[in-house]
Structure 1
């Protein structure tokens, strides 16, 4: 057992939800890599019913009730614990974006934070929890979310509530969390409840002692930094344990925490985060019991942001992080084990160096390899900085484009260079599109393509179109631009 306890792989399904057959393959792989459980954040991929049916995903169907049962049976067959995660306070964008629930926002322009004063808001989250737990009868733990409750206390009802003496935003937060947690515990007396810790960090020891959380929830301390502050994290653990919250979880990251629009993760960055957590575990206060660590794999920063790295390109990172926890370091043995299981180097950027005869592969490896190559092309300076090209800056500026003025010889040079770039990128982009379509819903394929490919290629297509119009306006022949993404 790792000094950090159980090893949970976090499945964030609020973006790029895998097709179900691929999801089952991933669950088997997670078990092969040494995971003990799954922390599943369904969000709108859960088949909510009744008054909650409108919060289901609309771009593609959510997983069915039957699929969720199969998912759990598959996990159980591989000795993986399943812990559902349901947001109950912050990050409620997938619910509060809908008109039917708009009045339940703490502040109108913040889609993520629930108004804790509305009885309907409380009943909403309790019904979400009821439906999720109904489909997870074998789960012994439930994660209540409750992180990043932005702008809490700024709504009109909250401001009124805070005018009474001895009331604070901390108490406002704790009041909602304890009410929800107690209601769940009343229905499921033996259920262990987990919550993110960030809203607790600024609370005093006395506030935590009197919070009502002791014996009710287990905080999950999260930090995804490769230079995680070990000393201060240990001090935070000591504060929690001194308040009576001695059963703690931790959360690291194997993807989705570098930058909001990252496409390919750095294994070393995420391994470094886990090495810091191992230092925390070895220095933790004696009173602290570490229940486990959740290796988070965020698919979006929030419901409305762009897609982060897809799972296939992050599997070498996940494998390396899990083996680091198992071996206690990112040793040669740990790296060899990653290669044995996945058949790839530990850094996904090196996946293209594999020989075609390589017999071992992981589910989604072909997509990962194509995506690494495509991302490299999309990030090349020749492509991204093309409008700073000497010919464009000198002879086809916005001034020239608006007035349809083009030097024929220079225009020809620009066209040749643009066509060469597009011909290098678009076949690889189409290959990624085809491979992604095998593993993900078409809506995910289109979203990823628009965000990460079309956004880069659109300026080139626009430039070609303007060149064509300028040359035609001058009575000159111009090649028709390719139809691309």
Structure 2
């Protein structure tokens, strides 16, 4: 198979604002960089960062202010001046956690304990979606394409109304899904006939060509085939494209990943893994079946797996990966020359973000926006995951002389306690300045609430047991030493 560079359509970079939404000052630096790295557009997933109004105002973020209407316009102006197309993404079936978590919309859940999936039988459900879409499109008057989501519609068919609907002979779960998506898409196109509509493809994969052909989706939506694996099944993906084409869905998209798809709570982006994913997509692009019109590829950068999950890698940590993935698509490989292009474009010494610590620019002025934060996150993550930070569970003195039993009784050899105190204090002295520096850098680029969330998720779980141990040591020492006793010099 002849593998060449990506020639089939646009390269669209996905920015996920449902976690760690960048400050406008950061986006002003980030958006031109994305264009310089070779992207053609932005896929913007606002979720609760969109300034919904009226009855939908409750959807706005409360931990930090959403983007204002003026800022939404500024983002588009920045993109336009950089030559980037803007494609908004509005979820219309699954992953509606940011909507259905609110009491006002509880009754629109398919199943009471599933916050993500909308009940497709309620008129109010469609009204809600169209109101959301209308408000988004009002602030995006020049767009040509809208992504309407519809992925991972968990527990569809398990709601009471769905079970009644499915009990009618000839009606199945595929028709239930297709009926809702078709209804929403037709309603959107009735008002905005010029729009191309895109949906994620995962809910379509097990449907027959005849089911798809009869659904009404043909000439209405374009499926976006997503797979973020470094071992993506090329042959299977090409066969899936052929199935969609045979059903009449000839226009389709690919979707890869540059970050946020390795592990739900990952802090550091593994560049090579994401490059490998793009090398697989290049093989798919080289084998696209006749009749398939591949519109382009969306390079996703998830900030959360869903609205309620933890933060994935922050954007600055993922930028070496993004640059590498775009360069792989441009060159058709990730050769030494391609890697050199990436390091020169970002002013770094390695395409792997861990290599930033060895960069000649490390600690100085950031050659790319957010590099200093990326360096601090890499350094802090390595320390937090190191063996010495498992001190409370592995230290010989703690395990032998200061177990929970000893901490309750507060009868311990003071010499041992002093050794524990010295080691714990030394560790905290190394860690706390790095935590403070990372916090300050995060606050420059993201809302204060993002810094608070990241620190609580990734740092507090390690720091708090150590701090608690140290407090117990200090209390126990005071209770066991006479007032005139002096501690030994540290280390003895």
Give TM-score, length-normalised by structure 1.
0.96
Matched length: 480
After TM superposition, the structure 1 = structure 2 runs for residues 176-187 of structure 1, keeping only pairs within 5 Å, are 176-187=180-191
Higher mean Cα deviation, 135-144 or 64-73? 64-73
The corresponding residue for 2:423 is: 417
Structure 2 gaps, min length 5 = 488-492
The corresponding residue for 2:377 is: 371
Shift of 1:2: 2.1
Alpha-carbon distance in 2 for matches of 1:276, 1:406: 60
1:304 matches 2:335: no
Does the 8 Å CA contact 1:90/1:149 hold for their aligned counterparts?
Answer: yes
Structure 1 residues 150, 246: CA separation in 2 closer, same or farther (over 3 Å shift)? same
Does the 8 Å CA contact 1:396/1:405 hold for their aligned counterparts?
Answer: no
Alpha-carbon distance in 2 for matches of 1:167, 1:313: 47
1:55 matches 2:54: no
1:261 matches 2:259: no
Name the SS for the 1:58 alignment partner: coil
The corresponding residue for 1:174 is: 178
Structure 1 residues 479, 166: CA separation in 2 closer, same or farther (over 3 Å shift)? farther
Alpha-carbon distance in 2 for matches of 1:298, 1:67: 21
The corresponding residue for 2:456 is: 450
1:221 matches 2:220: no
After TM superposition, the structure 1 = structure 2 runs for residues 180-195 of structure 1, keeping only pairs within 5 Å, are 180-195=184-199
The corresponding residue for 1:362 is: 368
Alpha-carbon distance in 1 for matches of 2:409, 2:120: 57
After TM superposition, the structure 1 = structure 2 runs for residues 244-283 of structure 1, keeping only pairs within 5 Å, are 244-283=248-287
Alpha-carbon distance in 1 for matches of 2:156, 2:9: 33
1:33 matches 2:37: yes
Alpha-carbon distance in 2 for matches of 1:181, 1:195: 10
After TM superposition, the structure 1 = structure 2 runs for residues 396-415 of structure 1, keeping only pairs within 5 Å, are 396-415=402-421
The corresponding residue for 1:483 is: none
Shift of 1:187: 0.5
Does the 8 Å CA contact 2:20/2:314 hold for their aligned counterparts?
Answer: yes
Does the 8 Å CA contact 1:126/1:180 hold for their aligned counterparts?
Answer: yes
Name the SS for the 2:19 alignment partner: coil
After TM superposition, the structure 1 = structure 2 runs for residues 334-353 of structure 1, keeping only pairs within 5 Å, are 334-344=338-348, 345-353=350-358
Does the 8 Å CA contact 1:3/1:282 hold for their aligned counterparts?
Answer: no
The corresponding residue for 1:388 is: 394
Alpha-carbon distance in 2 for matches of 1:110, 1:397: 42
Shift of 1:262: 0.4
The corresponding residue for 1:326 is: 330
Does the 8 Å CA contact 2:391/2:466 hold for their aligned counterparts?
Answer: no
Alpha-carbon distance in 1 for matches of 2:395, 2:246: 61
Alpha-carbon distance in 2 for matches of 1:476, 1:467: 16
Shift of 1:454: 1.1
Shift of 1:204: 1.4
Does the 8 Å CA contact 2:269/2:321 hold for their aligned counterparts?
Answer: yes
1:109 matches 2:113: yes
Name the SS for the 1:195 alignment partner: strand
The corresponding residue for 1:212 is: 216
Alpha-carbon distance in 2 for matches of 1:476, 1:86: 68
Does the 8 Å CA contact 1:342/1:360 hold for their aligned counterparts?
Answer: no
Does the 8 Å CA contact 1:3/1:278 hold for their aligned counterparts?
Answer: no
- Per-residue deviation, residues 153-204 of structure 1 (Å, max 9, x unmatched): 1111111111111111111111110000000000111100000000011111
The corresponding residue for 1:24 is: 28
Alpha-carbon distance in 2 for matches of 1:369, 1:313: 8
Shift of 1:212: 1.1
Name the SS for the 1:199 alignment partner: helix
Shift of 1:360: 7.0
1:468 matches 2:470: no
Alpha-carbon distance in 1 for matches of 2:398, 2:106: 48
Structure 1 residues 96, 391: CA separation in 2 closer, same or farther (over 3 Å shift)? same
Alpha-carbon distance in 1 for matches of 2:43, 2:75: 12
Give TM-score, length-normalised by structure 2.
0.95
Alpha-carbon distance in 2 for matches of 1:92, 1:4: 32
Does the 8 Å CA contact 1:317/1:346 hold for their aligned counterparts?
Answer: yes
Shift of 1:409: 1.7
